[in-house]
Structure 1
Amino acid sequence: MTSPATMPATMPDIRSLVPHSGGMVLLERVVSADDENLCAEVRIHAGSVLATADGVGSWVGIEYMAQAIAAHAGWLAERRGDAVKVGFLLGSRKYEASVPYFALGSVLRVHVHRVLQAENGLGAFDCRIESADAAPGAASLATATVTVFQPDNVNQFLKDGNVA
C-alpha cells in the first residue's frame, strides 16, 4: 500500500468514483487506495439493498467486490484527470463465503488487489471481505478472484462487441 505520507488526507466520495447512481452505490466510503489496492467500507443495516431480517446474503459480496474494483478504476482515473468509465464484471473464480449472511449492524471492509491489467482493458483482482472489527489475521468473510473488463470506448464496444 501507499505509505501514509503519500496517501491523501481524505479519500474522494465513493459516488464520484463508480459509474453507479443513487441506491445502487452499495459501498459507503473508500478507506484507502494506491496503484494496486483499494479498501472500501459498507455498513449492513435494515435499509441496505437486498437486506432481510437476517442481514444481506453473502452472495451480494461479489457485487461489493465489483464496486470496489470500479472505485479503484475511478480513483486511478481521477488521479490522471480522466473521466470515470463503465466497466464490466466478467466473472469470478472461487467465490467462497464463510457466512450465509452479512449480519445487520456489521461493518465490512472490502479489499481488492490488482493482480493483472492487460492493455486491452482486461483485469483480474484478488478480493476479500472482512469484518471491520476483526483482529488482524482473522479469517475473511468472503474471498474471490474477480475478472473485469473496461473498454476504452464503451459505446463502441457495445455496438461491435470487440475486445481488441
Structure 2
Amino acid sequence: MKPEFTVDELVPHSGQMSLLSEITDYGEEWLSAAVDITPTSMFADEKGVPAWVGLEYMAQAIGAYAGLQERKQGREPKLGFLLGTRKYSVPVAYFVLGERIEVRVTKNMEAENGLCAFDCELHGQRFEAVASLNIFQPDDADTFLREAQQ
C-alpha cells in the first residue's frame, strides 16, 4: 500500500530525534520504514551509527504504526513508551555511512490497557537483526507522566 502519511505526520518526535527517513509500506498489523545512515544522522560518528540505535529505529517504526492507526481514526498520534526488549541481536557494531536500513514491525499482541508487543526486524546490506519490543501507550501520556512523578 502506498504510504499516505509522512514520518512527521505519524511519529511525535521532531527535529533530529525523528530518526526514520520514510514510511515505505504498511498493512493491518505491520509497517515498514527506512533509515538512511548519513553523517548528519543522530548518534553518527566517523564509523557510522552504533548498532544499539537500531532499537530506537524499531521503536520509532512502532510509533509510526501506532500513529497511522490514530490518523485512520481522525486523531493525532499519541506518545508511547518502550518498556523493554527481548532478543535484540545484531551482528555488526555500527551501521555504516551511506547504508539504507529497512525496518519492519509486526504487532503480535495488544491489550486493552495499552500494552503491546511487536516483532521487529532490521535489514541492511551487511546484516539482519531481530528483536521483540514491549510498548505501553496510555490514552493520555501527559496525565500518565504527572501521576508517575507523584
Q: TM-score range by the shorter chain?
A: over 0.9
Whole-angstrom CA distance in 2 between matches of 1:147 and 1:33: 20
Q: RMSD of aligned C-alpha atoms?
A: 1.3
Q: Deviations over 1:36-80 (max 9, x none)?
A: 100000100111111111111100000000000000000111111
Among 138, 144, 147, which residue is 1:157 paired with? Answer: 144
From 19, 30, 36, the counterpart of 1:26: 19
- Give me the whole-angstrom Cα distance separating, in 1, the residues matched to 2:113 and 2:147: 15
Q: CA deviation at 1:156?
A: 1.9
Alignment CA distance shift 1:43-1:118 (3 Å)? same
2:69 counterpart residue number: 76
Secondary structure in 1 matching 2:132:
strand
Q: Aligned partners of 1:63 and 1:25: how far apart in 2?
A: 10
Q: C-alpha separation between the residues in 1 aligned to 2:14 and 2:41?
A: 15
| Partner of residue 148, structure 1 | 135
Partner of 1:15: 8
Map of 2:88 onto structure 1: 95
Give me the identity figure in percent: 45
Q: State how far apart, in whole Å, the 2-side matches of 1:41 and 1:113 are.
A: 15
Conservation of the 8 A alpha-carbon contact between 2:3 and 2:23: no
Match of 1:59 in 2: 52
Would you identify which runs of 4 or more consecutive aligned residues in structure 1 move more than 6 Å? Answer: none
Equivalent residue in structure 1 for 2:32, among 30, 33, 39: 39
Distance 2:78 2:51 in 1: 27
- 1:23, CA displacement in angstroms? 1.0
Name the structure 1 match of 2:100: 107
1:39–1:111 contact (8 Å) kept in structure 2: yes
Which TM-score applies when normalising by structure 2? 0.94
TM (normalized to structure 1)? 0.86
Give the match's secondary structure for 2:131.
strand
| Pairs aligned (count) | 148
SS in 1 for 2:60: helix
> Which amino acid is 1:110 matched to?
V
Rounded Cα–Cα distance in structure 2 between residues aligned with 1:56 and 1:28? 14
User: Where do 5+ consecutive residues of structure 2 fail to align?
Assistant: none
> Are the counterparts in 2 of residues 121 and 149 from structure 1 also a CA contact under 8 Å?
yes
Instruction: Give the C-alpha shift of residue 159 in structure 1.
Output: 2.4
Q: CA separation in 2, counterparts of 1:74 and 1:33? A: 12
Q: Is the 1:23–1:49 Cα contact (8 Å) retained in structure 2?
A: yes
